[in-house]
Amino acid sequence: MSFINNTKGKGKTIYRRGADDGLWFGIYLSLLFLASVNSIYSGFACLAALAMMIAVPFIIFYFLRRGYRADNCMSPFSGLWLHGICIFFFGSLLAALTAYIYLRFFNPAYITNVVDLAIELYGSVDTPEAHEMSSVLQKAKDSHMLPTAQGTAVQLIWMGVFTGSLLSMVLSAIVRAANRPTLPPPPPPAQFN
């Protein structure tokens, strides 16, 4: 099985195509991360983050379909799936770098602020479960067990690759079912003189 695209002499491997698409997807994921972390401050950022999350399957479908058509709809299912995994891997690397820089240098108190908001929210609810959750979060904060910028970045990579693998598997099947190879034109009829 070959993962080389020989269409039009480009010769792009699945990995190269996944890295190229992953760069653009990583920029998108970075913007999604920034919208998500600012959603506690702005309703517009919250709506933007929600809309961007909903758009992720459509963006991946576009990348997979474009790659599949570039291969004249001849890529095997495993090649499409690997293309999707590569998109998520390389995209998640860029998003993790953005998250690390943001949480380490621009807003290092973000995680603590979110935990404080959660403690306050759970503390205001009058149920035993909510009070228990509030005390667990307070103990985690007091014990310095909150996630770090590095830990958050690593979790973003793992989450991106795992969920991306599952989503790419489903979308690869849909792309293959919805697109058929273009057949070459039939040869001209034989001329008898």
In Å, how far are 25, 57, 151 from 37, measured between CA atoms? 18, 21, 16
Tokens 């459509």 identify what position? Answer: 58
Q: Which helix or strand (DSSP H or E) is residue 63 part of?
A: helix 43-70
pLDDT at position 193 over 80: no
CA 106 to chain centroid, in Å, comes to 23
73: confidence class by pLDDT, cuts 50, 70, 90: confident
pLDDT digits (tens, 9 = 90+) for 139-192: 988 888 989 999 999 999 999 999 999 999 999 999 999 887 666 677 777 776
CA 125 to chain centroid, in Å, comes to 34
Average pLDDT over residues 96-107: 96
* DSSP assignments along 165-191, one per residue: HHHHHHHHHHHHHH--PPPPPPPPPPP
Cβ-based neighbour number of residue 12 at 10 Å: 19
In Å, how far are 50, 98, 127 from 158, measured between CA atoms? 21, 15, 34
Cβ-based neighbour number of residue 137 at 10 Å: 19
Tokens of 129: 């479960």
* DSSP assignments along 89-135, one per residue: HHHHHHHHHHHHHIIIII-TTHHHHHHHHHHHHHHHS-SHHHHHHHH
Name the nearest CA neighbour of 64 among 79, 50, 51, 54.
79
Q: Which residue has the higher pLDDT, 20 or 123?
A: 20
Tokens 């959660």 identify what position? Answer: 118
74: confidence class by pLDDT, cuts 50, 70, 90: confident
Question: What is d(CA 125, CA 73) in angstroms, rounded to the nearest whole number?
Answer: 55
pLDDT at position 7 over 70: no
Predicted confidence at residue 40, as pLDDT, reads 87
Question: What is d(CA 98, CA 34) in angstroms, rounded to the nearest whole number?
Answer: 8
Could you tell me which residues come within 8 angstroms of residue 24 by beta carbon, excluding any fewer than 6 positions away?
Answer: 91
pLDDT digits (tens, 9 = 90+) for 9-51: 356 888 999 999 999 999 999 999 999 999 988 899 999 999 9
Predicted confidence at residue 184, as pLDDT, reads 67
6: confidence class by pLDDT, cuts 50, 70, 90: very low
